[in-house]
Amino acid sequence: MTSFLRKRIVSSAIPLVFVVLGVFCLARLTGNPVDLYLPLSATAQQRAEFSAAHGFDDSIPAQLWDYLANAAQLDFGTSLRTGESAGSMVLKAFPVTLQLAGMTMLLAILGALLVGSLAAYRPNSVIDRIAGLLSMTAASIPDFWFAIVGVLVFGVGLGWLPTSGTLGGPEIWVLPIATLLIRPFGVLVQVVRGSMVGALSAPYVKVARSKGADPKRVVFGHALRNSITPVLTVAGDLTVGLVNGAVVVETIFGWPGIGKLMIDSILQRDFAVLQAAVLLTAVTIFALNILVDVCHALIDPRVRQAVPA
C-alpha cells in the first residue's frame, strides 16, 4: 500500500505543476490590472508606480519566479481589491464550497444507492423504468439551466426559497444543493443499477438465495457491498466535476465560495487571489483522486497488487 500511495502522489505532482504554470500564464491574458484599478486620468508616473509596487513591470519569467518562490513559503500575495492576504481570502471561501459539495455528494450517493438497488432488484419493472427515465433526465440537465429555473419558479414566482446569500435557515441550502445534486444523482443511479444487476446474478448471490437468506441481506449485504467499487470511482470523478458546477451555482445564488471568488478575481484581474484559489482547488482535486484510489485499493486488493513495488 505504501508504494501504491507513493506512486499516486508522484503522478499527481506532475499535472499540478502544469496547472500552476497554466493559470499563471492565462491570468496574464486578461489584461493589465493597471487599466482597471487606476482612473483614466492617471498620469504615466502613477501608472508606473502602481506597476512597480505590484511587480507588473517585471518580465513574465521574473513574475513567475517570484510567484513560485513565494508560493513555496505559502505566501500568495495580497488582493488588489481588498488588500487582504490572498491565502486568507481563499481559506475563508473554501470551506463554504466544501460544505456545499460534501452535502451534495453525500445525498447523491445515498439516494443513488437506494434507487439503483431497488431498480436492479426488479429489472424491467415499473420501478426500474421510472428510475431509468429519471436518471437519464437528471444526468442530461445542465446545472445553469436548472439553477435559473429554480430561481424563477421557487424563488421569484412562488417565493418559497431564498435565491441568494448564506444567511438564514436550512432553506438557503435547498436550491444550491438541488442544482448541484441532479447530475451526480442521475449518473450514480445508472452506475449502481448496472453494478447491482451484475452482482445479483453472481454465483455467491445465487448460493445465498438458495440457502434461504433474507432478500434484504442478499441485496444490501452481499450484492451492494461488491458493487461499491465502481460507485466510489465514479463518485470521485463527479466530486471533481462539482468544482466546475460550483462556479456556476455560487455565481447564480451569490454563494460566497471558491467558485464565486474565482469569477470575481477574473473579472477584477486580481491575479494573486485567482492563482491561490486555483492552486488550492487543484490540490484538493488531486487529493480527492488519491483518496478515491486508496479506497479502491482497500476494497479491491487487485488494484494495489497491480502496482509494482
Q: So what's the pLDDT on residue 270?
A: 78
Q: Which amino acid is at 232?
A: L
**Span 260-268, mean pLDDT?**
82
pLDDT: is 109 or 227 the higher one? 109
Q: So what's the pLDDT on residue 17?
A: 78
CA distance 144 to 211: 51
Residue 133 C-alpha cell reads as 427515465
CA angle 164, 169, 170 (to 5 degrees): 90
**Span 33-57, mean pLDDT?**
70
Closest CA to 134 of 177, 175, 193, 219: 193
Q: pLDDT band for position 157 (50/70/90)?
A: confident
Give yes or no for residue 306 having a pLDDT over 70: no
| Burial class of residue 80 (count of CB atoms within 10 Å of its CB; 0-12, 13-18, 19+) | buried
**With contact defined as beta carbons under 8 Å apart, do 131 and 119 qualify?**
yes
Q: So what's the pLDDT on residue 284?
A: 81
85 in helix, strand or coil? strand
Indicate the average pLDDT of the chain. Answer: 76
**With contact defined as beta carbons under 8 Å apart, do 79 and 270 qualify?**
yes
Q: So what's the pLDDT on residue 148?
A: 83
Closest CA to 288 of 97, 26, 135, 116: 97
Q: Facing residues of 78 across strands? A: 85
**With contact defined as beta carbons under 8 Å apart, do 281 and 243 qualify?**
yes
Closest CA to 13 of 201, 267, 282: 282
Q: So what's the pLDDT on residue 4?
A: 62
- % of the chain surpassing 70 pLDDT: 76
Sign of CA dihedral 156, 176, 89, 280: negative
CA angle 76, 80, 85 (to 5 degrees): 35
Q: Facing residues of 85 across strands? A: 78
Q: So what's the pLDDT on residue 213?
A: 65
Residue 289 C-alpha cell reads as 483522486
Q: So what's the pLDDT on residue 39?
A: 62
User: pLDDT tens across 79-103, in order?
Assistant: 877 778 888 888 888 888 888 888 8
Q: So what's the pLDDT on residue 186?
A: 85
Closest CA to 183 of 238, 251, 231, 119: 238
* Cα 180 off chain centre by: 10
Q: pLDDT band for position 72 (50/70/90)?
A: confident
User: pLDDT tens across 203-258, in order?
Assistant: 766 776 676 666 667 666 667 777 777 777 787 778 777 776 777 888 888 788 88
Q: So what's the pLDDT on residue 36?
A: 62
Q: So what's the pLDDT on residue 303?
A: 56
User: How distant, in Å, are the alpha carbons of 6, 16, 274, 299 from that of 307?
Assistant: 11, 22, 36, 15
Q: So what's the pLDDT on residue 304?
A: 54
Q: So what's the pLDDT on residue 48?
A: 76
All structural domains of the chain: 93-305 (1.10.3720.10)
Give yes or no for residue 45 having a pLDDT over 60: yes
